[in-house]
């Protein structure tokens, strides 16, 4: 399969999960895979301006901001759960360029014949 879905539920409150999700995503891109991060729960905050920068940095690791930029530069996209996004009062005007508010139907359409899935 040439597609990878990373289901990410964590944001700044679980910086390690968010970081690992982006590490897996950028590694998949390096292996030639198409990658989408499906953000739910608190992870939707990572799809808006300033979101990746809000994740605490831990010494000896790349910043989430660096990984998010690398992911976007590699063609990675983020789908943000509409219910999670709206219930947090977030504004679509602040979306990162590679992010869009879209739910499971858009994800299923993109997956098509199948994808490898990772969940964090």
Chain segment 19-39, per-residue pLDDT in tens = 999 999 999 999 999 999 999
3-class secondary structure, 25: helix
Report the CATH number that the domain containing residue 112 is assigned in CATH: 3.40.1260.10
Range of the domain at 103: 3-119
How much is the pTM?
Answer: 0.94
Mean pLDDT of the chain: 96
Q: What is the pLDDT of residue 35?
A: 98
- C-alpha distances in Å from residue 37, one per residue of 10, 59, 93: 12, 25, 20
Q: What is the pLDDT of residue 59?
A: 92
Residues, the chain, total? 120
Confidence of residue 53 (pLDDT cuts 50, 70, 90): very high
Instruction: State the total domains in the chain.
Output: 1
Q: Which residue has 């605490």 as its token pair?
A: 56
């Amino acid at each position: 399969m040439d597609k990878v879905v990373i289901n990410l539920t964590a944001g700044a409150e679980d910086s390690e999960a968010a970081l690992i999700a982006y590490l897996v995503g950028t590694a998949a891109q390096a292996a030639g895979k198409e990658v989408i991060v499906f953000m739910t729960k608190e992870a939707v905050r990572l799809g808006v301006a300033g979101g990746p920068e809000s994740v605490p940095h831990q010494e000896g690791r790349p910043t989430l901001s660096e990984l998010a930029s690398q992911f976007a530069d590699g063609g990675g996209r983020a789908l943000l759960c509409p219910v999670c996004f709206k219930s947090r009062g977030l504004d679509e005007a602040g979306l990162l360029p590679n992010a869009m508010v879209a739910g499971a139907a858009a994800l299923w359409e993109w997956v098509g014949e199948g994808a490898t899935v990772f969940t964090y």
